[in-house]
């Protein structure tokens, strides 16, 4: 069977279509965002049970490239790509963690964390970048003149772009806001041989420059305005449902910055629904940092108007975005999924992350934003305690080791560090070590890890 997909303008009044292997990011007729649309009639000729069986058989297998969490669904992601042009690092297939102890502590027992940071470059950005770089490889192999691929980044996009381009021997250019990404994020594209431009601006400034660059030169744009990435990222919804034996959770909480990922999440669920593979939708909650909350503000006024904000510095640096490219797509998703938007302060996100870490996780600050929002919605009764809730963890905590260490030293400005657990400095004296431990542990038999403050 031949499955097809194409780019289509998201404005229903326009609906212009473009070839998937054309270099295009916005509608030429009306300048609106594009999305990839699939021939769902053709996909629906295969039964839901057959699709489920096929995905179950492929996911995690070594049958290249079908073991990947993205490419096991190739027919629904990018059917027109030939296998030899797939640039995959076995992205996806990340663990869906039952947060048993944390869930019990906060009173929601069916709590799960989708660990998208357990991936090749440590964030969910791999899911989209494998698709985008594969398409570039195919276009180059067909003789299109694309000398390089470029992105503006708050850190994780550039790490993913650099790795996938390096694997495919395609030059990558990354534009980073100087001193606004972590050392771990900076060193990834450097190690993978990307051309790293460190610009004296913030993310929104880098975004404007990369758009100028990719409009004037034939360098290809890898930001999420490019809807190829959304096609890869939508597989997170499909994978979550697959991991629950094709059952749909009640609520999914996702941190949002440029808002590509929330629209991808919705797109994945909708495709499954259209193909009869699921029979209901979850509610989607977008979690924003109060320091970069344009979507939250728009939500509060019923989406009547949208005003970009100047994003203030936030520990959740990957979502420090004041003028999100995918705003319209996100609003559409929220309207389709009974959506909620909530925000978290710096202290709330840092505390939520640290509190959950004490139960064995190791959260990035964006996951902290989502966890803080979970706590708020629970306390207001907007999430019921018997719901099945999934928190999307977007990156690995190790990318943010420096700020996490500062939290535990209580050295983050304006943050008390209520769950700080700093090392205890002692001389190497066995008696003092014994006495110190006796004081802390006492005779408690079930001594579980607790923050220093509570000892
Ligand atoms: C990119 C990113 C986000 C935000 O995703 P958007 O699609 O921009 O909303 C959140 N967390 C992490 C770790 C990211 O890298
Ligand atoms: Zn259009």
In this prediction, residue 244 carries a pLDDT of: 98
Please say if the pLDDT value at position 444 is more than 60.
Answer: no
**What is the model's pLDDT at position 442?**
83
* Nearest-ligand number for the alpha carbon of 13: 2
The CA-CA-CA angle for residues 305, 237, 41, to 5°, reads 90
Whether 129 lines ligand 1, by a CB cut-off of 6 Å, is no
Best residue for ligand 1 mutational test, from 258, 265, 323 (most atoms within 8 Å of Cβ): 258
Q: Each residue of 366-418: pLDDT tens digit?
A: 999 999 999 999 999 999 999 999 999 999 999 999 999 999 999 999 999 99
Task: Give which of 58, 12, 233 is closest to 131, Cα–Cα.
Answer: 233
Q: Which two tokens stand for residue 173?
A: 């250019």
pLDDT above 90 for 26: yes
**Rounded Cα distance, 421 and 402, in Å:** 15
pLDDT at position 447: 54
pLDDT the model gives residue 443: 61
What is the pLDDT at residue 417? 97
- Tens digit of each residue's pLDDT (9 = 90 or more) over 202-213: 888 999 999 999
The closest of 132, 140, 161 to 36, measured between CA atoms, is: 132
Instruction: Please compute the mean of the pLDDT values over residues 409-436 and round it to a whole number.
Output: 96
Task: Establish whether residue 65 lines the binding site of ligand 1, counting it when its CB lies within 6 angstroms of any ligand atom.
Answer: no
Pick the atom of ligand 1 nearest to 399's CA: 13
The ligand minimizing its distance to the Cα of 10 is 2
223, 312, 319 from 125: Cα distances, Å: 10, 23, 13
> Percent of the chain at pLDDT above 90?
92
* Distant-in-sequence, close-in-space partners of 44: CB < 8 Å, separation ≥ 6: 274, 275, 276
pTM comes to 0.96
- Please give the pLDDT value at position 204: 85
Contacts of residue 348, defined as CB under 8 A and 6 or more positions apart, other chains included, come to: 372, 375, 376
CA dihedral angle for residue 379, residue 381, residue 387, residue 389, rounded to 10 degrees: -50
Q: Which two tokens stand for residue 273?
A: 């629904």
CB 319 less than 6 A from any atom of ligand 1: yes
What is the arrangement of strands in the sheet containing 220-221, beginning at the earlier edge strand? 195-199, 172-177, 149-152, 220-221
Tell which residue, 64, 115, 58, has the closest CA to residue 88: 64
Residue 262 has pLDDT above 70, yes or no: yes
Angstrom distance (rounded) from CA 247 to CA 269: 11
Average pLDDT over residues 29-47: 98
Does residue 454 have a pLDDT over 70? no
Is the Cβ atom of 123 under 6 angstroms away from ligand 1? yes
Instruction: Place 184 in a pLDDT band, splitting at 50, 70 and 90.
Output: confident
Above 60 in pLDDT, residue 346? yes
Three-state SS letters, 392-426: EECEEHHHHHHHHHHHHCCCCCCCCCCCCCCCCCC
Please tell me the number of the ligand nearest to residue 28's CA: 2
The predicted pLDDT at position 199 comes to 95
- Our answer on whether the CB atom of 260 is closer than 6 Å to any ligand 1 atom is yes
Q: Determine how β-strand 149-152 pairs with β-strand 111-115.
A: unpaired
Q: Is 256 in the pocket of ligand 1 (CB under 6 A)?
A: yes
Distances 225 to 16, 139, 326 between C-alpha atoms, Å: 17, 19, 7
Q: Hey, how many other C-beta atoms are within 10 angstroms of the C-beta on 433?
A: 13
Q: Kindly give the distance from the C-alpha atom of residue 154 to the centroid of ligand 2, in angstroms, as a whole number.
A: 29
Quote the percentage of the chain above a pLDDT of 70: 97
pLDDT at 183: 86
Q: Mapping DSSP to helix (H, G, I), strand (E, B) and coil, where does residue 78 land? A: coil
How is residue 15 annotated by DSSP? Answer: -
């Amino acid at each position: 069977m031949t499955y097809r997909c194409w780019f289509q303008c998201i404005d229903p009044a326009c609906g212009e279509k473009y070839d998937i292997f054309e270099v295009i990011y916005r509608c030429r007729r009306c300048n609106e965002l594009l999305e990839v649309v699939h021939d769902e009639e053709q996909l629906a000729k295969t039964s839901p049970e057959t699709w489920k069986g096929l995905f179950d058989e492929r996911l995690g297998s070594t049958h290249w490239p079908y073991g990947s969490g993205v490419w096991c669904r190739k027919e629904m992601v990018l059917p027109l790509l030939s296998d030899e042009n797939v640039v995959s690092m076995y992205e996806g297939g990340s663990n869906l963690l039952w947060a048993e102890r944390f869930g019990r502590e906060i009173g929601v027992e069916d709590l799960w964390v989708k660990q998208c940071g357990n991936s090749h470059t440590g964030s969910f950005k791999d899911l989209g970048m494998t698709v985008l770089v594969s398409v570039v490889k195919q276009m180059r192999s067909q003789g299109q003149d694309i000398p390089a691929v470029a992105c503006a980044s708050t850190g994780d996009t550039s790490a993913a772009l650099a790795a996938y381009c390096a694997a495919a021997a395609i030059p990558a250019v990354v534009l980073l806001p100087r001193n606004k990404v972590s050392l771990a994020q900076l060193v990834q594209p450097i190690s993978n041989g990307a051309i790293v431009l460190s610009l004296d601006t913030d993310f929104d400034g880098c975004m404007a420059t990369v758009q100028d660059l990719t409009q004037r030169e034939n360098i290809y744009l890898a930001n999420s305005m490019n809807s190829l990435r959304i096609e890869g990222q939508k597989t997170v919804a499909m994978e979550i449902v697959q991991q629950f034996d094709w059952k749909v959770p009640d609520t999914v909480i996702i941190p949002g910055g440029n808002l590509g990922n929330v629209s991808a999440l919705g797109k994945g669920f909708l495709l499954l629904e259209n193909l009869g593979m699921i029979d209901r939708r979850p509610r989607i909650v977008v979690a924003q940092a109060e320091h970069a909350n344009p979507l939250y503000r728009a939500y509060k006024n019923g989406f009547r108007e949208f005003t970009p904000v100047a994003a203030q510095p936030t520990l959740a640096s990957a979502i420090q975005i004041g003028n999100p490219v995918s705003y319209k797509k996100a609003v559409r998703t929220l309207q389709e999924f009974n959506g909620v938007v909530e925000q978290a302060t710096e202290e709330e996100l840092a505390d939520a992350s640290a509190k959950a870490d004490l139960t064995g996780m190791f959260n990035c600050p964006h996951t902290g934003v989502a966890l803080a929002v979970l706590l708020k919605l629970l306390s207001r009764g907007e999430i019921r305690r018997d719901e099945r809730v999934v928190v999307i963890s977007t990156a690995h905590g190790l990318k943010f080791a420096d700020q996490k260490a500062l939290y535990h030293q209580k050295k983050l400005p304006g943050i008390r560090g209520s769950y700080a657990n700093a090392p205890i400095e002692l001389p190497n004296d066995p008696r003092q070590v014994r006495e110190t431990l006796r004081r802390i542990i006492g005779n408690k038999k079930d001594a579980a890890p607790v923050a220093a403050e509570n000892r």
